Structure 1
Amino acid sequence: MRFGYCEACLEHDTGPRHPESPDRLRAIRQALAEKHGVEYVVADPIDIDRVFAVHQREYVEELEQFCQDGGGDWDADTVASEDTWEAALRSAGIAEWAATTALAGAAGRETPFALGRPPGHHAVEDDAMGFCFFNNAPVAARSVIDRGMADRVAIFDWDVHHGNGIQDICYDKEDIFYASIHEDGLYPATGTVDETGAGEAEGTTMNIPFPPGTTQSGYLAALRDVIGPAFEAFEPDLLLVSAGFDAHEHDPISRMRVSTEGYGLLAQQMRELSEDIGAALGFVLEGGYGLDTLSSSVSMVHEVFDGYEPAPDDGNVSDTATDVLDRVRAQGFDGVSE
């Protein structure tokens, strides 16, 4: 894979005990150093007008001033420093690089993966929250759409938390389909099955709130049987994966049971889906807070695109996960049969 990266993202200082720390990127880089075929690209910071296309100008200017004044606690979870402004611009720029690179034809071993921080999927139009300041994936999606590089973009969020910010930003947008698998009831306690989009964008938001303890068998079934057919019917030019790795069975802040090999299977399935529907594919880093599990899972995704075949999943989809998928099917998404 080709990894977008910038040292400025390490300068976003969240303090000594914050789970979203620079050590996340350092751990990933260290793990990837042992792998074949890793290439790093330093992406430019996002043009501020691209941010304004997604976030309210007043909020963006307030954040810039907050950082210039030295930062501090934006809220109980979200911490900024003086260098957070540049890191946020760089993180969004790396996501934009992943989208444009994928649409330019990068695939297979050249598939782009944006390694930026701060992450993005909780940031709403007019506020930061949940460790996030700019919502990187929809900023990238809106950028390529507005520049005529794509007509439609589909975002698949496999982070254990619901990406409330992506949903809020895209909820009434006909040209972006947002699908999320997340742990039911976990922060920020949003993302119910019946939240499916608004107005002309009805049917372009899909939430799969799985119960705690769901394994990769449920995730793979959701992608194969529900998300995949809906994406195919949507006919996107680009698939973006909001790739959080905190649904890992050993992540310290969730109760889901996806294994490292399971992330390889999800990556493999996304690669096959992109090929089947003729869409470009890129990845954007979100959460993941156990350094070993985060780094090994990102390495696994890379290895899949470098030719590794993950072991087939031999688990069963739980009855509780099946019930959730049945409720999603009942919403009547295009391409998804009950």
Structure 2
Amino acid sequence: MQFGYSEVCLAHDPGSRHPESPDRLRAIQEGLKKKHGVDYVEPDPCDIDAMAAVHDREYVESVQEFCADGGGSWDPDTTAVEETWDAACQSAGLACWAAETALEGAAGRETPFSLGRPPGHHAVEDDAMGFCFVNNVAVAAQHALDHDDYDVDRVAIIDWDVHHGNGTQDIFYDRGDVFFVSLHEQGLYPGTGEIDEIGEGDGKGTTMNVPVPAGTDDSEYLAALDGPVTAALTDFDPDLVLVSAGFDAHRHDPISRVRLSTEAYALMTDRIRSLADDADAALAFVLEGGYSLDVLADSIGMVHETFDGREPIEPDDDDDPDDQATSVLEDVLDAHGLDVELP
């Protein structure tokens, strides 16, 4: 894979006790040293105009001013220092680079993965929250739609972070040109992402939430991708697929109760790659959460190895989704009017 990376993103330091630390990127780089075929690219940062395409301009300017004044606690979870503004611009620029690179034909072993921070999927149109100031994946999706050279009419965003991507959902909730899918732990921060949140107006039906119960493992996530997600996105027929790639649904991550294995990230990557291939869509990854350093590094390494030729190992046939998870998936199908048999 090609990884977008910049040391500018290390300068955003919310404090030694904060889980979203610069050590996350350091751990990823250290883990990738052991892998074959890793390339790094440092693209240009994003400008305010690109951010203001999905965020309120006054809000973006207020973040810039907040950082210039030395930062502080925007809210109890979301902290900035003076350098956070440059890091946020770079992180959004990295996400735009990933989308552009994919649309220019990079695929297979050249598939782009943006390693930016701070993460973005909780940032709503006019506010920061949940460690996020700028919604990187939303900026990248809008950048692709607005760029005349790429002829993009529809973008799909698949968010497998364990927390609901409320900011991405809110930004595109009434839009028909972006299909947002979120697989997340039910009831976890920020407490949004119910099944009946399916979009409104022109966007009715283009938001899909799969709120899985605590204890959910690989089989439930794979059943969601094989069932409602693939069915809905096949109908949507995107030109670009962006993955909001958080790794905090891993069984050893400290802030969730979902039980994914490291292998699950290979399996989900393989399925999303096939979905994009079937749609003849470009594919790119944008880093979100993941707070166990070893798990984060290993899981991103697994995504990379999947594109480098490693064949994912399917779970045993007897690892079927439990009744509670199956009920969630049936309700998702009903909410979207999909007549699909679950795996």
**Where on the TM-score scale, by shorter chain, does this alignment land: which range?**
over 0.9
* Aligned pair partner of 1:310 in 288, 309, 312: 312
Distance 1:202 1:86 in 2: 36
Q: Structure 2 matches for 1:136-155, cutoff 5 A?
A: 136-148=136-148, 149=150, 150-155=152-157
1:210 partnered with 2:212: yes
Distance 1:313 1:105 in 2: 32
How big is the shift at 1:201?
A: 1.1
Q: Structure 2 matches for 1:158-197, cutoff 5 A?
A: 158-197=160-199
Q: Do the aligned partners of residues 336 and 151 (structure 1) sit closer, same or farther apart at CA in structure 2, a change above 3 Å counting?
A: farther
How big is the shift at 1:231?
A: 0.6
1:55 partnered with 2:55: yes
* Aligned pair partner of 1:321 in 299, 308, 325: 325
Deviations 1:64-116 (A, max 9, x none): 11000000111000000000000000000000000011011100000000000
Q: Structure 2 matches for 1:16-165, cutoff 5 A?
A: 16-148=16-148, 149=150, 150-165=152-167
Distance 1:48 1:195 in 2: 30
Please give the secondary structure, in 2, of the residue aligned with 1:283. strand
* Aligned pair partner of 1:273 in 269, 272, 275: 275
Contact preservation (8 Å) 2:333, 2:339 = no
> Percent of counterpart pairs with the same letter?
62
Q: Which amino acid is the alignment partner of residue 193 of structure 2?
A: G
Q: Do the aligned partners of residues 335 and 132 (structure 1) sit closer, same or farther apart at CA in structure 2, a change above 3 Å counting?
A: farther
Distance 2:330 2:254 in 1: 30
Distance 2:336 2:136 in 1: 29
Please give the secondary structure, in 2, of the residue aligned with 1:239. strand
Equivalent residue for 1:231? 233
Please give the secondary structure, in 2, of the residue aligned with 1:226. helix
Distance 2:274 2:108 in 1: 11
Distance 1:89 1:46 in 2: 5
Q: Do the aligned partners of residues 142 and 333 (structure 1) sit closer, same or farther apart at CA in structure 2, a change above 3 Å counting?
A: farther
Write out the 4+ residue segments of structure 1 that deviate beyond 6 Å after TM superposition: none
Distance 2:118 2:63 in 1: 14
Distance 1:241 1:73 in 2: 29
Contact preservation (8 Å) 2:48, 2:60 = no
1:14 partnered with 2:14: yes
Tell me, which stretches of 5 or more residues in structure 2 are unaligned? Answer: none
How big is the shift at 1:7?
A: 0.6
How big is the shift at 1:334?
A: 5.8
How big is the shift at 1:256?
A: 0.4
How big is the shift at 1:337?
A: 6.5
Please give the secondary structure, in 2, of the residue aligned with 1:230. helix
Please give the secondary structure, in 1, of the residue aligned with 2:44. coil
Deviations 1:3-24 (A, max 9, x none): 0011100000111110000000
Contact preservation (8 Å) 1:156, 1:242 = yes
Cα RMSD over matched residues?
1.0
Q: Do the aligned partners of residues 3 and 335 (structure 1) sit closer, same or farther apart at CA in structure 2, a change above 3 Å counting?
A: farther
Contact preservation (8 Å) 2:154, 2:177 = yes
Distance 1:244 1:270 in 2: 15
Equivalent residue for 1:331? 335
Distance 1:250 1:337 in 2: 32
Distance 1:116 1:313 in 2: 31
Distance 2:307 2:203 in 1: 33
Aligned residues: 338
Tell me, which stretches of 5 or more residues in structure 1 are unaligned? Answer: none
Please give the secondary structure, in 1, of the residue aligned with 2:254. coil
Distance 1:310 1:200 in 2: 38
Q: Normalising to structure 2: TM-score of the pair?
A: 0.97
- Please, which moves more after superposition, 158-167 or 312-321? 312-321
Equivalent residue for 2:299? 297
Distance 1:63 1:227 in 2: 35
Please give the secondary structure, in 1, of the residue aligned with 2:88. helix
